[in-house]
């Protein structure tokens, strides 16, 4: 097995979750919405209609919390499709929490970082604590892990921003996408020790979702891992690109343990409080969707291996190129889906959100 290059690439993947350097931008952080979106559920109403959404996790869920000075999510051409400039999302446009909020007729929850600036919206629609590069444990970035994100949530609820009733009618979306594993492999280089570490990640994730529910949120949806071996950061070592097969069994182990833990929790509480949003199957099915040309090919890439999407040289010359139509790509960069990628993924997750 070609473990050396894979380790290098896992490192690269983590860097892509939070890349340096970048120009600080002093943009107003938000697209402004002046009216409530219409919700997009088809047919029957969802069984649970949350009034607010709270989000925890990493770059797959971050809508603005990562530091402007050091995150690719704040660089051009991120945000080119929506809102038309960088907004702190790791995509050309909307990401999963945006689609989930819209489905329930809510505005996307305000990033924790902008809770003062966006206080009214945060009060009304909820808050997003997710931050790129993080995990349940310490990763290679010094940013709040999921425990610390839940601490922030506890702190804002303690300040009286949300009532007990508000929380009771809320949904938490918890997205953990693999930075713990990238950091573990980078530090130890050991695939042999990985199964035990997977168990400890899932145990910690289980503690976290129980705690979120214990703080008063009625329903908790937690994503499982997507097929990480299919991310462009890894498939770039094959030609033509194909999914790196030996990674996905580890992913499947994580997903099997998570599904078991969620089943036990629901059984303990005798409710269906917790649900797994199956990113593994929804990514796999989206990658087989014929409306994506060459689905494993990312849309925005560095001009060579030194550079990544969004990089510029000291004279501000672009060191990346963007495909002609992000709408035809599943992947935006080495790690993250495009807006349309997330849209297609959400369409397969929709039944999960409908039947919470
Ligand atoms: C999360 O981060 C905090 C602050 O750095 C640390 O004290 C805590 O141990 C971390 N939690 C886990 C589960 O690693
Ligand atoms: C569910 O709970 C019952 C009673 O507590 C127990 O007998 C059963 O084994 C549990 N099932 C699972 C999947 O944990
Ligand atoms: C990438 O491109 C830059 C600018 O053209 C060049 O200086 C650098 O050597 C290249 N790096 C690699 C690894 O090809
Ligand atoms: C994006 O692609 C889909 C599928 O090919 C198409 O239905 C849709 O109209 C496209 N949207 C835009 C904005 O081009």
Pocket probe mutation, ligand 4, options 340, 342, 343, 344, max atoms within 8 Å of Cβ: 340
Identify the sign of the CA torsion 272, 266, 344, 175.
positive
Closest CA to 261 of 233, 313, 220: 220
pLDDT of residue 39: 60
User: What spacing in Å lies between the alpha carbon of 331 and ligand 3's midpoint?
Assistant: 24
Q: Does the annotation count 39 as an active-site position?
A: no
Q: Does the annotation count 180 as an active-site position?
A: no
Residue nearest to atom 7 of ligand 3 (CA): 306
Q: How many domains, in total, are found in the chain? A: 1
Judge whether 100 and 107 are in contact, CB under 8 Å.
Answer: no
CATH number of the domain residue 121 falls in: 3.40.50
Would residue 327 count as lying in a domain?
A: no
Q: Is the CB–ligand 3 distance for residue 304 below 6 Å? A: yes
Pairing of strands 170-175, 52-57: parallel
Q: Does the annotation count 37 as an active-site position?
A: no
Residue nearest to atom 9 of ligand 4 (CA): 327
The H or E element spanning position 175 is: strand 170-175
Would residue 323 count as lying in a domain?
A: no
Would residue 184 count as lying in a domain?
A: yes
pLDDT of residue 156: 95
pLDDT of residue 10: 52
Output the average pLDDT for the chain: 90
Would residue 198 count as lying in a domain?
A: yes
Residues 6 or more apart from 169 whose CB is under 8 A from it? Answer: 50, 51, 52, 218
Would residue 58 count as lying in a domain?
A: yes
What are 293-309's pLDDT values in tens digits? 999 999 999 999 999 99
Tell me the C-alpha distance between 61 and 173, whole Å: 9
pLDDT of residue 130: 98
Is the backbone of residue 234 left (phi > 0), alpha (psi -120 to 50) or beta?
A: alpha
Structural domain harbouring 261: 3-17+41-292+347-354
Q: What angle do CA 221, 222, 223 make, to 5 degrees?
A: 125
Tell me the C-alpha distance between 287 and 297, whole Å: 10
Query: What ligand is nearest to the CA atom of residue 138?
Result: 1
Helix/strand/coil for 96: helix
Is the backbone of residue 329 left (phi > 0), alpha (psi -120 to 50) or beta?
A: beta
| Active-site residue, from 19, 59, 71, 91 | 59
**Cα 353 off chain centre by:** 16
Would residue 66 count as lying in a domain?
A: yes
Would residue 332 count as lying in a domain?
A: no
Query: What ligand is nearest to the CA atom of residue 266?
Result: 2
The H or E element spanning position 36 is: none
User: What spacing in Å lies between the alpha carbon of 239 and ligand 3's midpoint?
Assistant: 21
Q: Is the CB–ligand 4 distance for residue 154 below 6 Å? A: no
Q: Is the CB–ligand 3 distance for residue 315 below 6 Å? A: no
Would residue 314 count as lying in a domain?
A: no
pLDDT of residue 113: 97
pLDDT of residue 43: 67
Pocket probe mutation, ligand 1, options 131, 136, 148, max atoms within 8 Å of Cβ: 148
pLDDT of residue 336: 98
Alpha helices in 24-66 (DSSP H): none
Residue stretches of the chain with pLDDT short of 70: 1-43
């Amino acid at each position: 097995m070609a473990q050396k290059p894979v380790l290098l690439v896992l490192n690269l993947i983590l860097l892509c979750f939070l890349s340096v350097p970048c120009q600080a931008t002093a943009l107003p952080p938000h697209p402004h919405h002046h009216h409530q979106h219409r919700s997009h559920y088809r047919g029957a109403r969802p069984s649970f209609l949350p009034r607010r959404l709270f989000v925890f996790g990493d770059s797959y869920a971050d809508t603005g919390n990562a530091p402007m000075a050091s995150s690719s999510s704040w660089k051009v051409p991120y945000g080119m499709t929506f809102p038309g400039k960088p907004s702190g999302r790791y995509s050309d446009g909307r990401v999963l929490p945006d689609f989930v909020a819209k489905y329930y007729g809510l505005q996307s929850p305000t990033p924790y970082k902008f809770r003062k600036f966006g206080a009214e919206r945060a009060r009304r629609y909820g808050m997003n604590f997710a931050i790129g590069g993080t995990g349940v444990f310490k990763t290679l970035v010094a940013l709040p892990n999921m425990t610390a994100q839940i601490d922030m949530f506890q702190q804002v609820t303690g300040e009286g921003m949300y009532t007990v009733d508000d929380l009771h009618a809320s949904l938490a979306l918890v997205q953990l996408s693999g930075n713990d594993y990238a950091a573990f492999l980078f530090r130890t280089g050991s695939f042999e020790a990985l199964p035990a570490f997977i168990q400890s990640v899932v145990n910690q994730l289980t503690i976290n979702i129980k705690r979120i529910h214990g703080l008063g949120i009625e329903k908790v949806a937690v994503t499982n891992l997507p097929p990480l071996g299919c991310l462009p950061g890894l498939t770039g070592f094959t030609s033509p690109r194909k999914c790196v097969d030996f990674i996905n069994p580890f992913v499947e182990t994580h997903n099997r343990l998570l599904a078991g833990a969620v089943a036990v929790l629901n059984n303990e509480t005798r409710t269906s409080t917790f649900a797994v949003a199956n990113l593994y199957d929804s990514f796999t099915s989206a990658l087989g969707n014929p409306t994506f040309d060459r689905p494993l090919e990312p849309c925005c890439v560095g001009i060579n291996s030194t550079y990544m999407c969004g990089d510029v040289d000291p004279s501000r010359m672009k060191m990346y190129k963007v495909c002609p139509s992000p709408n035809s790509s599943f992947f935006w960069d080495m790690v993250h889906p495009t807006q349309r990628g997330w849209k297609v993924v959400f369409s397969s997750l929709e039944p999960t959100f409908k039947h919470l």
